[in-house]
Structure 1
Amino acid sequence: MKQGFLSILPLAAGAALYGFAFGVLAAQIGFPWWGVALMSGLVHAGSSQIVAVEQFGSHGFVLGAVLAGAALNLRYLGIIASLSEVLRDVPMRLRLLAIHITGDENWALTMARRARDPDIGAAFLIGSGLTMISVWVISTTAGALIGGAIPDLEGYGLGFAFTAAFIAMARAMWRGRQVILPWAITFAATLALVRAGMGPAFAIVLGSLAGVAIATLDRSRRRQDIA
């Protein structure tokens, strides 16, 4: 667990930046600091929280914000499914804890490390998850507490923090040329849907599903070639 707790620190630093930016954004829209802290601890899904708050700030509809966040969080169905082997021998209470604190960053790091070392498992996932949720709650709450004093996030360079964190995660998940096609399909489909007028949250979900479908077909083809 200690290994996971420490190994995730570089990614946690990036998460702290966009967590702070999220807290500022939420406060400027009108969310109380304690509401931001509660949301970060209970929802604990950075990208969907940001999308939900932006939707609420743009349109003022709670239901629309919830649906946008939920749509983006559909990817966690695949993430949790991919952890079946990692959590297979873990007691239920720890399994539920692991599922709650699993985010994009610690999942990506755990799977990347596990690909090189099969001994990496639930302890690493939980340790890295505890680091991430602690940093996320603290940074978002801090941003919300002083949000009114920061008028322009872009002026401080914080607008790129969210993108930078996902670039780091993508690099950790790179498996070589065999993933180029699914990644390209995901990117192209998402971009096309956004340009067609679809909301970013739903475009990401559908684009990801397209990429997963291509990856599944490609994996089946390779198995048939081997057989």
Structure 2
Amino acid sequence: MKQGALSFLPLALGVAIYGFAFGILAAQVGFPFWGVAMMSASVHAGSSQIVAVEQFSGGGALVGAALAGALLNLRYIGIVASLTEILRHAPLPIRLLAIHITGDENWALTMSENARDKTIGAAFLIGSGLVSITTWTVFTTLGALVGSALPDLERFGLGFAFTAAFIAMARGMFRGRGDLLPWIGSFALTVALVLAGMAKAYAIVFGAVVGVTLSALQRRIRS
């Protein structure tokens, strides 16, 4: 676990900055700091939390916010499925803990490291996940406590922190030209749907479905 925790520390800075900005956003639309803390610790999915807050800020209903967050989190079905081999020999309580604390960043980091070294497994995932959820919960709560006393941090481009982290991790997971078709297909459709006016949560899900479908077709053709 120590290796996973230490490996995640550089990414934790981006999690802290983005979490702090999210906490401020949540406070500005009326969320109490304790509500932000509970949401971060129990949901631990930044993108769906942001979508839920945006739904509330736009006057959306509770059910609509929950559905939007749940839709965006459908990608975790694929993420959990990809952890089958890594968690195969772990006891059930450890599996449940690992699944709960797995976020996009520590999952991508674990898969990237596992692709290079097959000894990287559940302990690495849990170590990095514990740092991730702790950092996210602490800094979203701090942001909510500060609330509207600070300006809109998105003006300074701090929202790009996660994007930069994903670009770096995606480079480590890229296995060659065989990945180009599903990656490009997923990216192109997602961008096209967003530009066409579709909500980002829906666009991401449709883009992911296309990417997975293209990857499955490629594997079937090769076999």
Q: TM-score range by the shorter chain?
A: over 0.9
Aligned to 1:37: 37
SS in 1 for 2:85: coil
Query: Aligned partners of 1:16, 1:186: CA distance in 2, in Å?
Result: 28
Query: Aligned partners of 2:34, 2:164: CA distance in 1, in Å?
Result: 27
Aligned to 1:161: 161
Offset at residue 3 of structure 1 (A)? 0.3
Query: Aligned partners of 1:136, 1:222: CA distance in 2, in Å?
Result: 41
Give yes or no for contact 2:12–2:132 (8 Å, CA) kept in 1: yes
Aligned to 1:221: 221
Give yes or no for contact 1:106–1:125 (8 Å, CA) kept in 2: yes
Give yes or no for contact 1:28–1:147 (8 Å, CA) kept in 2: yes
How do 1:78-117 and structure 2 match up within 5 A?
78-117=78-117
**1:70 and 2:70 matched:** yes
Deviates more, 1:163-172 or 1:50-59: 163-172
Query: Aligned partners of 2:76, 2:119: CA distance in 1, in Å?
Result: 23
TM-score, with normalisation over the residues of structure 2? Answer: 0.95
One-letter amino acid of the counterpart of residue 209, structure 2: L
| Superimposed CA distance per residue, residues 60-111 of structure 1 (whole angstroms, 9 cap, x where no aligned partner) | 3211111111111000000000111111110111110000001111111111
One-letter amino acid of the counterpart of residue 159, structure 1: G
Give yes or no for contact 1:104–1:169 (8 Å, CA) kept in 2: no
One-letter amino acid of the counterpart of residue 107, structure 2: W
Aligned to 2:18: 18
Aligned to 1:144: 144
Give yes or no for contact 1:15–1:165 (8 Å, CA) kept in 2: no
Aligned to 2:123: 123
Offset at residue 20 of structure 1 (A)? 0.7
Identity %: 68
SS in 2 for 1:59: coil
Q: Count residues with an aligned counterpart.
A: 223
TM-score, with normalisation over the residues of structure 1? Answer: 0.94
Give yes or no for contact 1:108–1:172 (8 Å, CA) kept in 2: no
| Superimposed CA distance per residue, residues 163-189 of structure 1 (whole angstroms, 9 cap, x where no aligned partner) | 333333323332222211111111111
- Aligned residues: CA RMSD: 1.3
Aligned to 1:179: 179
One-letter amino acid of the counterpart of residue 114, structure 2: R
Structure 2 stretches lacking a partner, 5+ long = none
SS in 2 for 1:146: helix
| Superimposed CA distance per residue, residues 130-152 of structure 1 (whole angstroms, 9 cap, x where no aligned partner) | 01000000110111110211122
